[in-house]
Structures are given as C-alpha cells and as structure tokens.
C-alpha cells in the first residue's frame, strides 16, 4: 500500500516539475524574443550577405537574420514574429493589407543574373538577349546550338544538347525580378506566365530551393541554365552570361552596370511606397551600360512598433555611406542619393 | 511476507472490490487527460487545416483534386500532379524497398554468420536514424548526378520503349525521389521483417528441412506464409513514411508541376509542395490551396492506413484458417 502512494506522489511531482519547466521555458522564450539588444529579421536570401556584413559592423544591437526567402519574410513580418522582414519584390496590394501597416524601405541595390553550366563555355562568354532568355524558359528553344543562340554567339562552340532549365521552387524575389524583366521584353511571357514571386513554369523544368538550391542544380547539371542573385553566382563560381540591354549592348552584372540602371530614378518622383522597378531600362545612350535585371531590395518594418528606435538606428546605419560601400565587394551597388533620401523619409514615420 | 509480494498481491486483486484510493483516482485522471489530449490535438489540427483550406475549397471545389497545374499568377491551382507524384513515388519506393528488405531480413536471420549479424543489424537500424534532410542533401550532390550518369542511360537504352524510362536530362527527377524514399523506408521494412522471421517457430523450420526441402523452399513454404500479415503491415508503415516525407523529396524531385509518366522527369508530391511553398506563398488563394493540399494529404494517408489495416486483417484471417 505505501508503495502505491509513493508512486502516485512521484508521478505527481514529476508532472508538476514538467509543468513548471514548460512554463519557465515559455516565459523565457517570450522574454528572449523581445529583449533589448537584439533585432530579428527574416526574408530575402538575396540581401542576406549584405545583412551579414552589416551585422558585423553594427554594434548597438545584435542582428539575427534568417534567409528564408522574400515570401517568407513578408509572412514573418505580417505575423510580427520578427522585428523586420526583407523582400526583393515590393509588397502586392493584398500583401500590403495583410501586413497591417508596414513600411517598405529600399536598403540595398543589386542584380539577378542568368548563370549557365555549358561544358566548353567559360565565364562571361555566353551572350543572351531577353527574347532568347524568354524563349529558353518558355521551352521554345530547347538546344544550346539553336540558331537563335548561335547567331549571337559566333565563335562559341555550343553543344548539340538539350538545355536543362532551372528555376526557383520557393517564393522568391529573384523570380520576381526575372519574370518582371521577361514580362517587359516578351509579350507571350507577359500573358502566359506573368510576373510574381511564384509563377507556373512550362513543363519539364527543374526547381531549386532558394539561391543555394538553384546554384547547386546548375553546378551539378551540365548544359543547364538558371538565375540567381549576383553574389551567389560569384561565390559558387558559376559562369555568368552577358545580357543584351535595350540600348543594344551586351553587359555584365557589375557594380557599374547596376549603378547605370539605377540612373532611372533620377528626375523621377519616388512614390510614397518606394516601389521602384529598374528592370529593362529604356533604349537610350544614357543606359548603354545598364544591367537589365537590377533591383532594389526592401526592408519591411511595422509603422508602429515598440522597437522603433532600435530599428531606426539600424536602418539608418544600413543607409549610411559606410554601410553602402562596405557591401560593394558583395556586388551591391551604393543606392542613389534620391533613393536614400526617400528611404530616410519613410523611416522617419516609424514610431513606437 | 516481503513488501514486493504484497504489491503483487494488490495488483492481482480485482478493482471492483477495492476501497477507492485518492491516488488511483488521480492516476486515472492524469492518464485519461493525456489520452484526451491527443484526441483534442488531432481534432484541432484537422479543424485548423480544413479552416485554412476553406477559401480554396469554395473557389475550386472538388475539381481541385484532379486538376493539374499551379499558377498563382492566374489563380489556377490543382492537386492532380501532386497526387500523381505522391502515388508514383510512394508505390515505386515500396516496389523497390520490399524485395530488398526481405533479402536483408532473410540474410540477417537465416544466412549471415553469427559474428556479423549484430553489426549489420545495427547498421541497418542506423540507416533509419539518418535525418531526412541529410539524405536529401546527399541526394542532390551525390545520388542525383550518379543516377543521371550511370543508371538512367542504361535504363533508357534498354527499356526506353516503356514510357516510364523516357529521355533524361537531370539528376533531379521522380526516379531520384523514388530511390531516396527507398533508402528511407528500407530499414523500416527490413527491421520489422527481421523480427517477424525471428518469430517463426524453430520446430516448423526444422520440420520443413527434415522433410528434405532446400533452404529456399523452407523460406518460401514456411517463413513467408508465417510472416505474411506482419510483412504487409511493415510495408504499410513504409508506405506511410514515403507518402508523408517532405524535405528529402523536395530536395531531389525538382519541383515540376505536370503529370509525366517518364520517371526521369521532374515532379512533385503533396508533402514536398507544401514544404517548399508554404513559407513564401504570394496570394491568400495560394495559401489556402496549400492547406487544401494538406487536407488531401491527410485524407490520402488515412485511406492508405485504412486499406492497410484491412489487408492485414484479411491476411491474418486467411492465415488463421490455414494454420
């Protein structure tokens, strides 16, 4: 008899201990999430290298950033599970409403670029036009030695091989920039596929998860083509293709060509939501050097947040000349002064 | 009389005639609450998933289940290709894994020298412990390219007339997903089968051998029939794992959204589509459609389980009559 009672007592004691432990963990978790000294963010994998660079330079707060993809960043900030989100694609109308009062602030400038893995073709050698790129992704062009590709690549030894087409399988800002550009240069693309962070790809393509997944798929599959953020191509040593801009020159995604595309904002009024598209700059001598798939990338913050002061300090730092030039080595171009000004104006509206 | 004996005596006494103890009541309450908790949890999950899918259900109706394509830009989404992908990968993996697992189990119970039985058994069980994300990573980097370079070409040239083995181009394919799933469910089926084979009474085996059968005839005539129901159950467990596996499949299947009988093409499954898209969906309708996929996955898994239980029961009954 005494034994039974003891057993029950032990069970109860254990249960109580477990309950207390669970409570302690929960409250510690809640406190940890909002404690002073850290800012947590999530989203765009394109901007992730820049945020990582900034967080090593920034000492006022610890920055925890999770590169989950732009779509995930928008979701995270809408649910307020992070202090800031990051997206390469500006918020759509329904996303803006879903975010319940979020400001989108441009904080970095870079590019999405086509990368290839063709045996016998080196870095910077392959030339592509928007139309050819669209036709490859629409599967109208299926072989590397297709006349349309050969005509603009005289002297290159293009194989008689099927093109392995790689795209992003998750919701992605790079997909947004890529499809935004192709929608501007190809009518069929615009009506059939459209422009979004997730689109319906024609049959037979290969999906890769995040920038790293696309880079891995391109690297491991000979005769493949994909698109990634500039930095990921360089880091993974994948061959970058030249792209013909509207002005007619075959350009490479360099800081100078991204800056050239950003000239677009000069003399225009930046809208209140800071939505600026840099894809396919018009046919003009001014944009002779411009990379056609350049993009601003945005930080998303709630209009009203208890961490307003901390967020403002961090984003002000990110917009500073020191921070902007520190990420040049990661192939981010410094943002034009008018955009910095517009960004600061929006930032000033954030309050606690 | 020692305390131990007294306790044993207490335990044997029927509950009805007992004085009610506070401790017993509490124990019953705690255990009952724990059981209730799982039920409530299951109910809440089902409720939440169905609620999340409501927008998509009212927009697409039942047609969603069979329609093919995933186009959030034009609001046209369907589960057809994902259902197809789930079925073909799970069945394919089961077809590959079952004979292999039988071989492993037979080897470990009947054929292997005693000295290596222990280590090999442990290794097979370790295979089950590898996290799926690790298998997936290995699938992208090693297995996919290997299959593309050394397995798909001979299969295509020898069996290319069958639509299943059509043209190949990448290591990301339904076929790669099948092989990855095979690796994941093999240890499940093998270790359960091994237990079942160990449970075959020695007298039966010896009697068969004594009648002059070969070892294979003994395996076929005695061990397989004896373990049949259990092996069917093991296969179902494997099938359940294959249907629900998301991460490893996402990594190797290549996210295609069309139905293709060519195993070397890319495809997608219900679970992997949810895993790859849930964090980054764009429209509310796409989000709800992902929930709809989850509803279908739930129903699909439930159906698989029910059918499985029926098979096991029927096999058991037939066996009961035979023995």
Euclidean distance between CA atoms B82 and A306, whole angstroms: 43
Cβ contacts of residue A308 below 8 Å, gap of 6+? A350, A351, A352
Q: Is the pLDDT of residue B19 over 80?
A: no
B284 touches chain A (CB under 8 A): yes
B19 in Cβ contact with B255 (< 8 Å): no
For B232-268, give one letter per residue: b (16+ CB within 10 A) or e.
bbbbbebbbbbbbbbbbbbbbbbbbbbbbebbbbbbb
Euclidean distance between CA atoms B168 and B266, whole angstroms: 10
Pick from A114-118, B43-47, B159-163, B317-321: least confident: B317-321
Q: Is the pLDDT of residue A216 over 70?
A: yes
Residues of B in contact with A189 (CB under 8 A): none
pLDDT: which is higher, A14 or A221: A221
Strand A62-66, strand A38-43: pairing? parallel
Please measure the distance between the N-terminal and C-terminal CA atoms of chain B and give it in whole angstroms: 46
Size of chain B, expressed as the number of residues it contains: 323
Q: How would residue A210 be classed by pLDDT, with cut points 50, 70 and 90?
A: confident
pLDDT: which is higher, B141 or B7: B141
Euclidean distance between CA atoms B274 and B280, whole angstroms: 10
**pLDDT tens per residue, range B155-184:** 999 999 998 998 888 888 999 999 999 999
* Residue where the block lists tokens 């928007």: A130
Q: How would residue B319 be classed by pLDDT, with cut points 50, 70 and 90?
A: low
Q: Is the pLDDT of residue A20 over 70?
A: no
Q: How would residue B317 be classed by pLDDT, with cut points 50, 70 and 90?
A: confident
A182 in Cβ contact with A137 (< 8 Å): yes
Q: Is the pLDDT of residue B192 over 60?
A: yes
Dihedral through CA B108, CA B112, CA B118, CA B122, nearest 10? -50
The verdict on a CB contact (< 8 Å) between B282 and A95 is yes
* B27, B171, B257: residue with CB nearest A200: B257
Q: Which stretches of A122-196 are assigned E, i.e. beta strand? A: 127-128, 164-168
Q: How would residue B279 be classed by pLDDT, with cut points 50, 70 and 90?
A: confident
Residues of B in contact with A182 (CB under 8 A): none
**pLDDT tens per residue, range A81-114:** 999 999 998 998 888 888 999 999 999 999 999 9
Neighbours of B314 (CB within 10 A): 12
What does the pLDDT read at residue A45?
A: 86
Q: How far is A151 from chain B (nearest CA, A)?
A: 25
Q: Could you tell me the CA-to-CA distances from B177 to A258, A284, B95, B140, B180 in Å, in that order?
A: 40, 49, 13, 10, 5
- Is residue B76 helix, strand or coil? strand
Q: Is the pLDDT of residue B5 over 60?
A: no
Q: Which H/E stretch holds residue A228?
A: strand A224-229
The verdict on a CB contact (< 8 Å) between A204 and B258 is yes
* B172, B268, B282: residue with CB nearest A198: B282
* Residue where the block lists tokens 């615009």: A190
Residues of A in contact with B143 (CB under 8 A): none
The residue-averaged pLDDT of A249-260 equals 94
Cβ contacts of residue A181 below 8 Å, gap of 6+? A112, A130, A279, A280, A292, A293
Q: How would residue B309 be classed by pLDDT, with cut points 50, 70 and 90?
A: confident
- Is residue B112 helix, strand or coil? coil
Q: Which of A195, A266, A275 is nearest to B71 (CA)?
A: A195
Residues of B in contact with A221 (CB under 8 A): 145, 148, 169-172
Q: What is the pTM of this model?
A: 0.81
B279 touches chain A (CB under 8 A): yes
Neighbours of A273 (CB within 10 A): 14
* Tokens encoding B323: 């023995």
A–B: how many Cβ contacts below 8 A? 139
The residue-averaged pLDDT of A76-84 equals 93
Percentage above 90 pLDDT, chain B? 54
Q: How far is A199 from chain B (nearest CA, A)?
A: 6
Q: How would residue A258 be classed by pLDDT, with cut points 50, 70 and 90?
A: very high
DSSP-derived secondary structure for A85-115: EEESSPPPHHHHHHTTSEEEEEEEEEEEEEE
Residues of B in contact with A69 (CB under 8 A): 279-280
Q: Which H/E stretch holds residue B149?
A: none
pLDDT: which is higher, B16 or A191: A191
The verdict on a CB contact (< 8 Å) between B250 and A220 is no
**pLDDT tens per residue, range A136-177:** 999 999 999 999 999 999 999 999 999 999 999 888 889 999
B3 touches chain A (CB under 8 A): yes
Percentage above 90 pLDDT, chain A? 68
Interface test with B, best of A86, A169, A204, A210 (most B CBs within 10 A): A169
Residues of B in contact with A199 (CB under 8 A): 71-73
The residue-averaged pLDDT of B227-232 equals 86
Q: Is the pLDDT of residue B199 over 70?
A: yes
What does the pLDDT read at residue A16?
A: 55
Euclidean distance between CA atoms A182 and A159, whole angstroms: 25
A187 in Cβ contact with A167 (< 8 Å): no
Q: How would residue A25 be classed by pLDDT, with cut points 50, 70 and 90?
A: very low
Q: Could you tell me the CA-to-CA distances from B298 to A237, A297, B127 in Å, in that order?
A: 43, 38, 27
The verdict on a CB contact (< 8 Å) between B76 and A205 is no
Euclidean distance between CA atoms B76 and B283, whole angstroms: 12
**pLDDT tens per residue, range A30-46:** 434 444 589 999 999 88
């Amino acid at each position: 008899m005494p034994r039974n009672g003891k057993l029950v007592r032990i069970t109860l004691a254990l249960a109580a201990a477990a309950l207390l432990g669970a409570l302690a963990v929960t409250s510690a978790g809640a406190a940890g999430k909002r404690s002073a000294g850290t800012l947590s963010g999530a989203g765009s994998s394109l901007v992730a290298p820049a945020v990582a660079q900034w967080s090593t330079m920034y000492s006022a707060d610890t920055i925890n950033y999770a590169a989950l993809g732009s779509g995930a960043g928008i979701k995270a900030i809408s649910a307020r599970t992070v202090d800031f989100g990051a997206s390469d694609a500006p918020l759509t109308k329904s996303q803006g409403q879903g975010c319940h009062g979020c400001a989108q602030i441009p904080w970095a400038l870079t590019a999405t670029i086509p990368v290839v893995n063709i045996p016998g073709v080196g870095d910077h050698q392959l030339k592509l036009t928007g139309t050819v790129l669209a036709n490859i992704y629409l599967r109208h062009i299926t072989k590397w030695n297709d006349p349309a590709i050969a005509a603009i690549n005289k002297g290159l030894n293009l194989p008689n091989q099927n093109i392995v087409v790689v795209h992003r399988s998750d919701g992605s800002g790079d997909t947004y920039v890529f499809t935004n550009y192709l929608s501007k240069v190809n009518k069929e693309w615009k009506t059939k596929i459209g422009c979004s962070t997730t689109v319906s790809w024609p049959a037979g393509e290969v999906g890769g998860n995040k920038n790293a997944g696309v880079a891995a798929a391109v690297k491991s599959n000979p005769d493949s083509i994909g698109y990634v953020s500039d930095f990921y191509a360089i880091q993974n040593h994948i061959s970058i293709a030249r792209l013909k801009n509207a002005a007619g020159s075959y350009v490479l995604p360099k800081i100078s060509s991204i800056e050239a595309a950003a000239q677009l904002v000069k003399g225009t009024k930046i809208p209140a939501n800071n939505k600026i598209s840099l894809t396919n700059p018009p046919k003009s001598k001014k944009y002779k050097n411009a990379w056609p798939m350049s993009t601003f990338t945005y930080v998303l913050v709630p209009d009203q947040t208890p961490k307003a002061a901390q967020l403002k300090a961090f984003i002000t730092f990110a917009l500073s000349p020191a921070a902007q030039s520190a990420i040049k080595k990661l192939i981010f171009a410094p943002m034009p002064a008018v955009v910095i000004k517009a960004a600061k104006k929006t930032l000033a509206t954030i309050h606690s | 009389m020692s305390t131990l004996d007294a306790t044993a005596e207490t335990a044997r006494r029927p509950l009805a005639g007992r004085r009610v103890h506070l401790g017993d009541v509490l124990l019953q309450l705690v255990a009952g609450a724990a059981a209730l908790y799982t039920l409530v949890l299951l109910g809440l999950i089902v409720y939440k998933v169905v609620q999340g899918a409501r927008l998509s259900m009212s927009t697409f109706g039942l047609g969603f289940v069979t329609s093919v394509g995933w186009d959030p830009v034009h609001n046209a989404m369907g589960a057809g290709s994902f259902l197809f992908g789930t079925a073909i990968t799970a069945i394919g993996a089961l077809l590959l894994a079952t004979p292999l697992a039988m071989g492993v189990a037979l080897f470990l119970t009947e054929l292997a020298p005693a000295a290596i039985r222990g280590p090999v058994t442990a290794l097979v069980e370790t295979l089950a412990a590898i996290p799926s994300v690790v298998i997936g990573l290995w699938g992208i980097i090693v297995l996919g390219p290997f299959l593309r370079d050394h397995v798909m070409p001979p299969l295509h040239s020898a069996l290319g007339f069958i639509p299943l083995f059509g043209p190949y181009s990448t290591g990301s394919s339904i076929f790669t997903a099948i092989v990855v799933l095979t690796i994941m469910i093999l240890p499940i089926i093998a270790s359960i089968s091994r237990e079942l084979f160990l449970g075959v009474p020695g007298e039966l085996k010896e009697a068969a051998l004594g009648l002059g059968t070969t070892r294979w005839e003994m395996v076929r005539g005695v061990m397989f029939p004896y373990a049949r129901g259990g092996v069917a159950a093991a296969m179902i467990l494997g099938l359940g794992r294959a249907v629900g596996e998301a991460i490893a499949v996402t990594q190797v299947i290549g996210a295609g959204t069309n139905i293709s009988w060519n195993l070397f093409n890319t495809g997608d499954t219900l679970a992997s589509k949810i895993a790859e898209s849930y964090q980054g969906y764009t429209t509310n309708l796409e989000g709800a459609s992902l929930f709809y996929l989850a509803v279908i996955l739930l129903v699909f898994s439930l159906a698989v389980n029910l059918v499985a239980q029926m098979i096991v029961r029927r096999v058991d009954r037939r066996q009961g009559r035979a023995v």
